[in-house]
């Protein structure tokens, strides 16, 4: 097997690229623009172009390359095909197949959140574990479930899409997925802002959050400063998320939960609020699951994509 792997993470605005050795050391890292025009038809040729160019630049021959892994935003089946990727302008696309043709290398494709979970298991917050649930709390909520070292893609590419678990019957607004009361509506960065707005509107107790721009960061900064309204928001967030995670544990029973995404920058205080409620609702044998923050930040996806080639 070759000594080099390319790990690619396709986002709606940029494509993150990494060149790794098989030990998981990143040798080079760069980005290109995601050209979503023309139904996204340039994206995969652009990826192939940049990695072939990088290989030439580094003097790496084809037989030295173990392959290329790619994470893409949307459901991906076990053959590396996507029914649709709204953010990229794609309808059905055989991502792995097309990139194999374009590069001549072995290619593996997975959902981007699943790639991030693999990355965190390989070199991040879940290093050394084999049964992992990763939650990425960003604008939305992504997730990845790893069982015995392998990611669960699911029968419809929706394995680990835990942002759309129903958690609130009383929700009146509609989630991006079309349902109402999804976890993403109350525990993502935007969800925390919604919770904060509702708490602030419910009474008029003084709060440092009033009058300033609301964000997940502002809320958790205020929690650290002891602001009562912010603490109320953190409790609600913790109850929604901890209770939902207790449910995930009854299905997948992980050794460790890893929390990533922008919201995780709040630090370990986040885990305190989640664990409080997780312990209240979890099935007793699952209560000693560990909790950790993600460590690879925006690089988790390229690490995990590269890791796909080592199975």
Tell me if 165 contacts a copy of itself by CB under 8 A: yes
The residue from 171, 255, 293, 297 that contacts a copy of itself (CB under 8 A) is: 255
Structure tokens at 235: 């409790």
Subset of 230-249 contacting a copy of itself (CB under 8 A): 243-244, 246-249
**Span interacting with a copy of itself, options 23-31, 93-101, 147-155, 295-303, rule CB under 8 A:** 147-155
Distances (CA, A) of 276 to 72, 182, 257: 34, 21, 14
Tell me if 281 contacts a copy of itself by CB under 8 A: yes
Closest Cα to residue 136, out of 310, 309, 293, 304? 293
Tell me if 152 contacts a copy of itself by CB under 8 A: yes
- SS3 category, 55: helix
Tell me if 86 contacts a copy of itself by CB under 8 A: no
- d(C-alpha 187, C-alpha 57), whole Å: 44
Residue 21: how many CB atoms within 10 A of its CB?
A: 14
Tell me if 87 contacts a copy of itself by CB under 8 A: no
Subset of 167-186 contacting a copy of itself (CB under 8 A): 177-179
CB neighbour list of residue 269: distance below 8 Å, 6 or more residues apart: 220, 223, 224, 234
DSSP state of 282: S
**Span interacting with a copy of itself, options 89-97, 191-199, 252-260, 266-274, rule CB under 8 A:** 252-260
Tell me if 161 contacts a copy of itself by CB under 8 A: yes
Smallest distance from a copy of itself to CB 281, Å: 4
Nearer to a copy of itself, 48 or 121 (CB): 121
Smallest distance from a copy of itself to CB 129, Å: 8
Nearer to a copy of itself, 4 or 257 (CB): 257
Residues 194-213, one symbol each (x = binds a copy of itself by CB under 8 A, - = not), give --------------------
Smallest distance from a copy of itself to CB 165, Å: 5
- d(C-alpha 75, C-alpha 83), whole Å: 7
- d(C-alpha 129, C-alpha 122), whole Å: 9
Evaluate whether 85 touches 73 at the Cβ level (below 8 Å): yes
Tell me if 155 contacts a copy of itself by CB under 8 A: yes
Tell me if 160 contacts a copy of itself by CB under 8 A: yes
Tell me if 164 contacts a copy of itself by CB under 8 A: yes
Reduced to 3 DSSP states, what percent helix, strand and coil does the chain have, rounded to the nearest 5?
A: 45, 25, 35
**Span interacting with a copy of itself, options 4-12, 99-107, 152-160, 192-200, rule CB under 8 A:** 152-160
Tell me if 112 contacts a copy of itself by CB under 8 A: no
Could you please report the per-residue DSSP string of 67-107? EEEEEESS---TTSEES-BGGGTBSSEEHHHHHHHHHSS-E
What is the Cα gyration radius of the chain?
20
- d(C-alpha 239, C-alpha 242), whole Å: 5
Q: Which residues bind a copy of itself (CB under 8 A)?
A: 75, 78, 83, 131, 145, 147-148, 152-166, 177-179, 243-244, 246-255, 281, 283-286, 288-289
């Amino acid at each position: 097997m070759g000594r080099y792997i390319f790990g690619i993470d396709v986002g709606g605005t940029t494509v993150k690229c990494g060149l790794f050795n098989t030990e998981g050391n990143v040798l080079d890292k760069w980005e290109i623009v995601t050209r979503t025009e023309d139904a996204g038809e340039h994206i995969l040729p652009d990826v192939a172009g940049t990695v072939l160019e990088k290989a030439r630049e580094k003097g790496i021959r084809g037989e030295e390359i173990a392959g290329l892994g790619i994470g893409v935003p949307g459901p991906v089946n076990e053959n590396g095909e996507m029914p649709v990727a709204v953010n990229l302008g794609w309808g059905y696309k055989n991502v792995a197949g097309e990139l194999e043709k374009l590069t001549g290398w072995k290619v593996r494709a997975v959902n981007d959140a699943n790639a991030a979970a693999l990355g965190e298991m390989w070199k991040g917050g879940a290093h050394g574990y084999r049964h992992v649930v990763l939650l990425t709390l960003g604008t939305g909520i992504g997730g990845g479930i790893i069982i015995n070292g392998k990611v669960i893609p699911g029968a419809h590419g929706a394995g680990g899409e835990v942002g759309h678990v129903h958690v609130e019957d009383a929700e009146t607004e509609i989630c991006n997925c079309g349902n109402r009361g999804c976890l993403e509506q109350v525990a993502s960065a935007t969800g925390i802002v919604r919770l904060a707005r509702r708490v602030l509107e419910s009474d008029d107790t003084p709060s440092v959050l009033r009058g300033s721009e609301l964000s997940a960061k502002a809320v958790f900064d205020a929690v650290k400063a002891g602001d009562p309204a912010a603490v109320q928001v953190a409790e609600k967030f913790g109850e929604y998320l901890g209770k939902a995670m207790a449910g995930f544990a009854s299905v997948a029973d992980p050794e460790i939960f890893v929390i990533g995404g922008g919201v995780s920058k709040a630090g370990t205080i986040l885990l305190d609020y989640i664990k409080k409620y997780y312990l209240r609702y979890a099935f007793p044998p699952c209560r000693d699951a560990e909790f950790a923050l993600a460590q690879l930040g925006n690089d988790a996806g390229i690490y995990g994509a590269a890791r796909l080639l080592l199975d």
